[in-house]
Amino acid sequence: MLFAKIQSVLLALAAARSVFAHTTFTTFYVDGVDQGPGVAMRMNKTPANASFPVQNLASSDMACGFDGTEGVARVQPVKDGSTLTFEFHSWANDYSKPSLDPGHKGPCAVYLKKVNSAINDTGVGDGWFKLWDDGYDEVNDEWCTDRMISNNGRMSIVLPSDLQGGYYLVRPELVALHNATKGDPQFYIGCAQIFLQSSGNLEPESTVSIPGYVKAGEESVSFNIYYNPDNKTYPVPGPAVAKLKAGAATTQKTQDEGLKPAGCILEKANWCGYEVPSYTDEAGCWASAKNCWAQDTTCWTPYSPTGGANCEIWETKCNGLNDACNAKQFTGPPNKGKDLTPTYTTIAIGLVLPTSTVAGAASSFSSQAVVAAAGVSGGGGSSGVVYSTPAGKATGAVGGYAASSSPVPTEKPGLEVTTVFETVVKTEWEYVTVYQSQGQGQKVRRGRRGGARR
């Protein structure tokens, strides 16, 4: 007789209290399509403090954020001229929470760095160039952060066509200035690892080093946004938006690192799930169930800031294997090789921001025809609106922004942000112990905690 007993054990309960609802880069869309939780993204690895800002401008954390010097397994292929969208949330695993507390006001920018390896490069040092930035809009009294909030926490750029193909780190940056006068500008940074499929030859005229491109005390990071009579004089941090020039032809035309591994039927951050071995008998069935649960353990460990949604999908598969073995269906696995990747959100891109221009050429990016992706979900806000800033360094008032209602500030001039968000990060997963009675009644524990059993 065969039976299986599944025990659910609340394994971990981690509580975290955060004084401020900060924010973090949680979701990377290419041409409006979500690339999956943490896939090809460098994020702070500790869920409890994933949204904390970088405050030391001389720190190497300025490049790709906390834990950002270490690459992740995947590199996202991106077509020439693709639209990249960076979505921010105050809680990386809970999209019902606001993208950013409206008390955070300041500029934002997107930088690129061409690298030999999107996985190995630490991001620290020279080579960065700015594709786009945005500061204060006098007409609507809006900061870039205000516009991001009303655009579902997203900033989108269209990659200039004909950039040199190859590997890049792409770095969204958002700065909160509410405490800047006290020497405490807050930088929210992340990086995505991409392979640009382009045969172009455009490269930036000049690049900067990160850290180093902005220094503590500079006006861009010490500006008083509450008492300054003239916000429109606000100078955004960092270099001007890079001018592009013809450079060397693309040498790296084919992606050879960070591809989704063959046989990967579900992915999450650095994890991939693979089909379990095929079987034709009872022992094989349980061995494959065990294989599945072992992969489940590696899905949950480490617990990623974006949560465990895909691990839960994987557990459905493992439970299905348990059920099949219990039902004496000893030929399997069921649905062999089926790709379990859920249909990720496709967004209406909404605001798209004009990017670098080719030296000497008139800006052609302000009128980019950006087609909102089909199958829209999770849209809202100012969908389909394209707004334009002049080429070059956007330092002040810009007409033509999509009008949107200003968020209600949570701060008063001279006061500190008082909003307190409290959260409990609850990590729950199952340890499964399967008991199998065989023949003479000896019990064999076939749990995912057991040693390798082949």
Ligand X SMILES: *[C@@H]1O[C@H](CO)[C@@H](O)[C@H](O)[C@H]1NC(C)=O
**Shortest spacing between CB 22 and Cu ion, in angstroms:** 4
Q: What residues between 6 and 25 interact with ligand X by CB under 6 A?
A: none
Q: Provide the strand spans (E) within 7-146.
A: 16-17, 24-30, 33-34, 41-42, 76-79, 83-89, 108-115, 125-134, 136-137, 142-143
Position with the least CB separation from Cu ion: 22
Rounded least distance, CB 417 to Cu ion, Å: 7
From candidates 97, 105, 147, 448, binder to ligand X by CB under 6 A? 105
Q: Which is nearer to Cu ion, 144 or 391 (CB)?
A: 144
Q: Which is nearer to ligand X, 8 or 116 (CB)?
A: 116
- Distance between CA atoms of 189 and 175, rounded to whole angstroms? 9
Name every residue whose Cβ is closer than 8 Å to that of residue 262 and which is 6 or more positions away in sequence. Answer: none
Q: At what angle do helices 309-326 and 282-300 cross, to 10 degrees?
A: 170
d(CA 155, CA 111): 12
Count of CB atoms situated within 10 Å of the CB of 230:
9
Stretch that binds ligand X, among 176-184, 194-202, 294-302, 360-368 (CB under 6 A): 176-184
CA distances in angstroms from 302 to 80, 268, 270, 283, 427, listed in the order given: 34, 11, 10, 30, 11
Q: How far is the CB of 23 from ligand X (least distance, A)?
A: 13
Cα(287)–Cα(281) distance, integer angstroms: 10
Distance CA 156, CA 173 (A): 12
Q: How far is the CB of 54 from Cu ion (least distance, A)?
A: 11
Determine, following the binding rule CB under 5 A, whether residue 22 of this chain makes contact with Cu ion.
yes
Q: Which of 6, 7, 13, 20 binds Cu ion (CB under 5 A)?
A: 20
22 binds, among ligand X, Cu ion, none (CB under 5 to 8 A by kind): Cu ion
**How many of the chain's residues bind ligand X (CB under 6 A)?**
21
Nearer to ligand X, 221 or 417 (CB): 417
Under the binding rule (CB under 6 A), the answer on residue 46 touching ligand X is: yes
Closest contact distance (angstroms) between CB of 245 and ligand X is 25
Q: Which residue among 62, 84, 417, 434 contacts ligand X (CB under 6 A)?
A: 417
- Using the rule CB under 6 A, is 128 a contact of ligand X? no
List, in order, residues 6 or more apart from 250 with CB less than 8 Å away.
Answer: 164, 165, 166, 198, 199, 200, 201
Question: Binding residue for ligand X (CB under 6 A) from 94, 339, 416, 422?
Answer: 416
The phi-psi region of residue 388 (left if phi > 0; otherwise alpha if psi is between -120 and 50; otherwise beta) is beta
- Distance separating alpha carbons of residues 76 and 38, to the nearest angstrom: 11
Q: Which two tokens stand for residue 150?
A: 């009303």
Minimum Å gap between C-beta 337 and ligand X is: 29
Q: Which residue's CB is nearer to Cu ion, number 87 or number 267?
A: 87
Supply the DSSP symbol for 73: S
The label of the residue with tokens 């870039």 reads 144
Give yes or no for residue 56 binding ligand X (CB under 6 A).
Answer: no
* Cβ atoms 215, 329 nearer than 8 A: no
Choose among 31, 26, 63, 60: nearest CA to 41. 26
Query: Nearest approach, Cβ of 44 to ligand X (angstroms)?
Result: 6
* List 49, 69, 252, 298, residue binding ligand X (CB under 6 A): 49
Contact between 117 and ligand X (CB under 6 A)? yes
Residue 96 or 230 with smaller CB distance to ligand X: 230
Nearer to Cu ion, 22 or 114 (CB): 22
How many Cβ atoms are within 10 Å of 337's Cβ, its own excluded?
10
The item of ligand X, Cu ion, none sharing an interface with residue 376, based on CB under 5 to 8 Å by kind, is none
Of 102 and 273, CB closest to Cu ion:
102
DSSP bridge partners of 200: 164
Window 182 to 221, contacts with ligand X (CB under 6 A): 182-184
Instruction: Choose the stretch contacting ligand X; rule: CB under 6 A; options: 8-16, 114-122, 395-403, 435-443.
Output: 114-122
Cβ closest to Cu ion, residue 188 vs residue 314: 188
Which 216-275 residues touch ligand X, going by CB under 6 A? 225-226, 229, 231
Taking CB atoms within 8 Å and a gap of at least 24, the contacts of 15-18 are 15/424, 15/425, 16/47, 16/48, 16/49, 16/423, 16/424, 16/425, 17/422, 17/423, 18/48, 18/49, 18/51, 18/421, 18/422, 18/423
**Which whole-number Å values give the CA distances from 344 to 38, 97, 191, in the listed order?**
13, 19, 20
Please say which residue, 117 or 161, places its beta carbon nearer to ligand X.
Answer: 117
- Residues in touch with ligand X (CB under 6 A): 46, 49, 52, 66, 105, 116-117, 119-120, 141, 143, 179, 182-184, 225-226, 229, 231, 416-417
- Residues in touch with Cu ion (CB under 5 A): 20, 22
